[in-house]
């Protein structure tokens, strides 16, 4: 449901090589992501939709960074990612 990490991949690619293909990935990823946020807000509250959207983007960007860009995979970083996931799920459960 979320393609925000596609936009984040686009940012990283544009930072390394600013060309049309990378800019299309960047812009396309964020356009689709915003459209999905708008769709989500039709059925759930603004606060929950935005928390889920930003949480998925944050976790997705961290995972993409670890998998494709050799970023740290420390236990503390993994624990923080799990904390974000639990917080977003908890917010959804109480909304």
> Mean pLDDT throughout 57-68?
90
Half-sphere exposure of 24 (CA within 13 A, CB side): 3
Alpha carbon distance 79, 14 (integer Å) = 29
Q: pLDDT tens digit string along 11-55?
A: 888 889 999 988 888 888 888 888 989 998 999 888 888 888 888
Alpha carbon distance 42, 22 (integer Å) = 31
- Tell if the pTM clears 0.85, that is, is over it: no
pLDDT at residue 29 in the model: 83
pLDDT at residue 2 in the model: 46
pLDDT band at 4 (very low <50, low <70, confident <90, very high): low
């Amino acid at each position: 449901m979320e393609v925000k990490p596609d936009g984040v991949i686009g940012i990283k690619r544009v930072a390394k090589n600013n060309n049309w293909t990378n800019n299309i990935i960047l812009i396309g990823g964020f356009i689709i992501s915003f459209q999905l946020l708008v769709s989500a807000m039709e059925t759930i509250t603004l606060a929950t939709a935005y928390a889920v959207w930003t949480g998925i983007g944050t976790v997705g960007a961290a995972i993409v960074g670890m998998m494709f860009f050799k970023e740290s995979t420390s236990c503390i970083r993994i624990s923080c990612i799990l904390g974000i996931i639990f917080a977003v799920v908890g917010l959804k459960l109480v909304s």
